[in-house]
Amino acid sequence: MSKYIIEPLNQKFEIKGYRVYFNIQNSVHAEEILNSLDKATPQLEQLFCLDAPPEAEIFIYPDTSTIERVSQRPMAVGETFRILAEESAVMLSDPQLTKMPGIDTVRNICYMLFDNAVKEREIGLKTYRTPSWLRDGICLQIPSKLRTDSKDYLVGGWKICKEAFRADQLIKPSVMVKSLYLISDPNRRELAIHQSFFMARYFLSNFSNKFFKKYSTLMGAFEDMESETAFRQITSLNFEKFFNLFKDWVRTTNVWAAISD
């Protein structure tokens, strides 16, 4: 039995390697989470080059104070959920659940798989070895496509990137090192999230269909290796040259080509 199960979590849904623990009042959310994970599994295996379906435990707690208590660590400012990557555990707070808890959980599982494979670690406040545009861009691929409004969402995101290109406002990778979600201006933050998604989409489809396998192998084996060095070994490009290619792709590509698989 998981050490993170507490008395209020008296229900469990399970499929494949996923287990969701919750109180009866969160049954609908738990079912949505499990269904989303089930749908995402083939894509998770492909993107993260897994030999078997991932396993994870998801806990829906009454509040963030319970997360603090069971994980024995205070919540940081702005933290509404907790990922324990090494333990394959995701801790959610009932009051903080969004309208799409299933999609959010898939995204959290992506971060968990990314961090475990890369041996990711924080090197500063909300700053990881992997810059945010690269880490977030990869981890946003599957949840963005699983949304019920995925087509409209991706079309809207591409239009935002196109408009930013025309105004010479696309964000340089060197600016998107810290968490994208720390960007204070909401419009700039929205651009950063969409731009990171499409930057990752571009290199995943053009430079290597096994990009993550190669990247995680390098970063996991050499824990002092810089992300840009690993990226350059895989793509033969540094971040600045890649960004220039990305800008040209935005300039020449129509929306349907940009969002199609």
Give the pLDDT score at 9: 95
Tracing tokens 């995701």 back to the chain, one arrives at 90
Q: Which amino acid is at 37?
A: L
Q: What is the pLDDT of residues 204-260, one digit of tens each?
A: 998 876 899 999 999 999 989 999 999 999 999 999 999 999 999 999 999 999 998
Structure-block tokens of residue 251 = 């300039």
| CB contact set of 103 (below 8 Å; sequence gap of 6+) | 36, 143, 146, 147
Give the pLDDT score at 219: 97
- Angle between the N-to-C axes of helices 239-252 and 186-206, in degrees from 0 to 180, rounded to the nearest 10: 90
DSSP tag of 29: H
Give the pLDDT score at 215: 97
Structure-block tokens of residue 32 = 């949505």
Give pTM, 2 decimals.
0.95
Q: How many CB atoms lie within 10 A of CB 53?
A: 16
Give the pLDDT score at 1: 53
C-alpha 187: how far from chain center: 20
Residue ranges in the chain whose pLDDT is less than 70: 1, 209
